[in-house]
Every structure is written in structure tokens, then in C-alpha cells.
Chains A and B, each alone.
Chain A
Amino acid sequence: MPRGPRQLDGREVAQRLRAAMPDAVAGATDEWVEVAAPRVAEVLRWLHDDPALDAAQLSSLCSVDRYDRFELVYHLQSLDQNHLIVVKAVLDREQPSLPSVYGVYRGALLQEREVYDLMGIHFEGHPDLRRLFLWEGFPGHPLRKNFLQIAGHHPGLPRFPFEEPGKQAR
């Protein structure tokens, strides 16, 4: 599993989180800690305020469409401690919605708008949740894997251009 040089072990973070909020943690690997989506704002607030973890900055917020679920990935950066914490929240694909972390990190303002625009995830409590790049009324959310499915488009690249079907090149 690739892991950045300054990235904290997710299980360690999970352990500390469990001590503070036992029911917020949904799982952990050496890379990330997964939290319950409805409690993500609370968890991030705790991580932000905790002096040891000191997640002062929301470095990046992005979303991944896993066909059956959405993953929200928060990269939290501690500047004073110089480490990176990865927090994930898993969302239902039908009505994707979770609390906005704008109250904790103002840096989420545009990043949440971007996720809302391109992935269609609703952030409750965001002060200004509008589409960012596309116009209001754009049909669908392009970063979803099933975007343009009706038109017969399949996402991803099935094989390399020079490969025979069913035979992987090296």
C-alpha cells in the first residue's frame, strides 16, 4: 500500500478517535481512518482542536465514485506537527448527503462546491452550495461513473491501445 512519507497511520488515529467518540469511527487501515458520514464535521472539529493531532488545514477534499457508494476523502494537514491525516467518509449512492465541514475549515468552501458540482454530493450546512464550474441546470454530475450511461458510454479504459482484447500486455 503506498503511503506518503509524512502520513499518519490510520489505525493510530482511529484509536485516539475512538477514545473521544467511540461510535464515530467506522474502520481504519494503515492509510486512512473511515468515519461515519453524518458525524464527519464533528470528527474533523475534534481532529482540528486536538493538540496532538492538530489537523489545522484541510489540504484537499475530493470524492470517489465506487459504483455502489461514494467516498469522501479529506486530507488534513498539521502544519506545526507536520503530518498528514487521511479521513474517509462513505456515503450511500442514492441520496448522497453529509454535513459540511465549512464550520471547521473555511478552505472547504470551494472544494465542497466543486464536489457538489461534479459528483452531486449534498453538503448540509454549506453557506453557498451552488455549482462551481458548470451552470445551474447542467444535466447530471460528470465525475459520477454512470454519467452518460444512457448514451452508451462506459467509464474507464478497458485495456491499453495496443493490447489484444483479453490478453494483457506487459
Chain B
Amino acid sequence: MTAASEPYVLNIGPQHPSTHGVFRVRVVMDGERIRDIDMIVGYLHRSMEKLAEERTYTQNIPFTDRADYLAAMSGNLGYCLAVEQLAGVEVPERASYLRVIFAELQRIASHAMANGQLVSDAGAWQTPLLYMWREREKILDLFEMTCGARLTTNYMRIGGVAFDPPPEFFPAASALLDELPARIAEYTELLVDNEIFLARTRNVGVISAADAINASLAGPMLRGSGVPWDLRKAEPYCGYDRFDFAVPVGRAGDAYDRFMVRMEEVRQSVGIVRQALDGLPPGAHKTDIPLALRPEPGEAYARVEGPRGELGFYLVSDGGPAPYRFHIRAPSLINLTLLREMAVGASLPDAIVALGSIDIVVGEIDR
């Protein structure tokens, strides 16, 4: 027996506990079932792409912090790689290692946040979130130690990184790396052995591999659907081919797989950071570039594997001091492409979990 009722419109967001910022979806609901979903974004639109056209290449680095404010290092890195590709700047070996170390630490921090939020969305009243934040806090402390900032780091520079880490960074980092694997194992075990968590995340927001590729999904969304695609392997920037790590691939493409892929990625990142710390070569941490950097006219598209997926920067230069065009390929926005497919027909709690498993950052969606 099916009972039909009058559909009604429910506004989820922009102020809602599980929209992770000022994201808004307008949902047409029939009882608890979602009939239609429409996302409304732009509440955090800061017009970065336009503003960047009137700032020098170096002045634009802070924008990349503030786009994906949970993965500032990855944003910095992608942008600096694009400018270096555009201007033909060589990066010293030590700077590449430092970039890898900080990008991977950032990935751990971001994934801890994402997974904690997902479990929080599934109803665990913030406890897993706060435990994962504990690890994130330590990483942010490392960032603060190195560059003075925790969230919007502004650490990478064109041609290297801004500062060499202080001497106390290395013992702190290795202490963190020593305790992280046990912590990850503990959290994974606690959550994966929890029947309620499994019941809430398995077969929720399922995306097939073909759909994931066709819809330009990236990062844990793509890998969770079973596609072994990771730019660190496919296009090893910053010398990622020197490090030994594996790409975790999900099975069913549901929220649970995305969760587990993120957990496994954290484990792999710990390995990468440890290898990079062990092999950190001496030398300069940045190369001198002209203060007035005017790249030749041309264009560059550099991508990094950010925590949320393929974070691309498309830069066009007309030979002037500022980029002629600055475009961010924002994985948070593009991962939302299949939101309708994931949510329509599901119930509200499932849709919330599916949305949480996408791991959106509104700063990056709206830019």
C-alpha cells in the first residue's frame, strides 16, 4: 500500500546544522521521501576569479587558501604549480618535499574533518567529530609552527615554500605520525563495527563507476565508486612518484565506501609524510623569482589531488603582472553534479548522509 500526500517544499539551509556552511538545497518532499532537489549556492560567492585578474600572481595565493578553507595547503600548491608551469619556474628539491609533507598533512586534517562530519550527520552527537578534530588540531599546530597560520596558511610560494620548518617541527611531526596509525585504526574499528553506522551509510548515495567518471566526480567520490584514479599516481607532480603509497578503491560507491576510502587515504598519507620527512634533502626551500613576475603570454592548467579531488587551476597570461584569467576547477562544486541522482527517491536522513559523504566546502563551491 502506498499513501500519497501533498508534496511540500522544505528549505534545507543556508542555515542548517548539516549543510556545512551556507549551502542551501530546496527540497520537494512527500512525507519523508524526497521528490525533487535543487541546490542554491552563491551565499559565499566572493568573485575570486574576477578579483584575481587585478592582483599579481603572488597576491593571488591567499585566494587559494580561502577557496577551500579546509585544505588551504592543497589550494596553495595547485595554484603555485600552475604559475610555475606558466612562468617556467624550477622548484628546488627540498621545496618539493616540503610541499608534499604539508599537502599530505592537510589531506589528513581535511579527511578527519570530512569523516567526522559524516558520522555527525549520521547522528553520532559530535563525539567522533571531536576525536578526529583532536588529530586535526595537532596538524594545525604543526602548520602554525611552520607558517604562523592554522587555517588560511598562505604557505606555498611561486618557486618553493615560504619558510623552512623550524627545528621543533620535526620531532613534533614524527610524534604525530607515530600515534596516527593507531588512532586511525581505532576510529575505523569503532565505527565500522557499529551496526547503526553501517546501516546508515551502506547503500546510501550509490554512484556507479561509469556515472562517476561521466559526471566528472573526483577524489574519494570517484575512488569510492571503484575507479582507481589518483592524480598523484597519474600525473606525479612534486615528485610523488618517489614515494611508495597505494590508492584505496571502494566497492559499491556508497557513503560507506567514501568514508572508508578517506580513512585509508589518511593511512597512506601518513606513510607518504614519513617517507618525505625521512628523505628530506638539504638545500634551499625556495628559488628566487622576479619580484615583478610577468609570465610569457600563454596558458597553463595544473591539477593536484586535493582532499576533495581534482583541484585544477587554469591560468591565462597576457604577459602582464596579473593573470588574464584565473579559473579554479572546484571539486566541491563538480562533485555535487550527481546530488539529484543521489537524493531523489531517498528519505531525508539518507540524503543528509549522502550530502555529508560528498564532503563539500562551501568556500570552494562558491569561490
Contacts and interface: CB of A to CB of B under 8 A. Distances in A.
Contact of A156 (B290, B301, B322, B336): B322
B300 interface: yes
Given A59-B216, A133-B42, A163 B234 contact: no
24 contacts: A1-B298, A2-B85, A2-B298, A4-B301, A31-B299, A60-B301, A62-B329, A75-B301, A82-B235, A106-B337, A107-B215, A107-B217, A107-B334, A114-B333, A118-B49, A142-B47, A142-B50, A143-B49, A147-B50, A156-B53, A157-B56, A157-B320, A161-B56, A168-B292
B42 A5 contact: no
Given A110-B337, A133-B41, A59 B234 contact: no
A155 interface: yes
Interface in B41-65: 41-42, 45, 47, 49-50, 53-56
Contacts, number: 128
Interface of B: 41-42, 45, 47, 49-50, 53-56, 85-86, 88, 211, 213-217, 227, 229, 234-235, 290-292, 294, 298-303, 310, 312, 314, 316, 318, 320-322, 324-325, 327, 329, 333-334, 336-338, 366-367
B49 A56 contact: no
B18 to A, nearest CB: 21
A86 interface: yes
A138 to B, nearest CB: 10
Contact of B299 (A2, A65, A147): A2
B346 to A, nearest CB: 19
Given A59-B303, A60-B314, A105-B216, A132 B42 contact: yes
Nearest to A153: B54
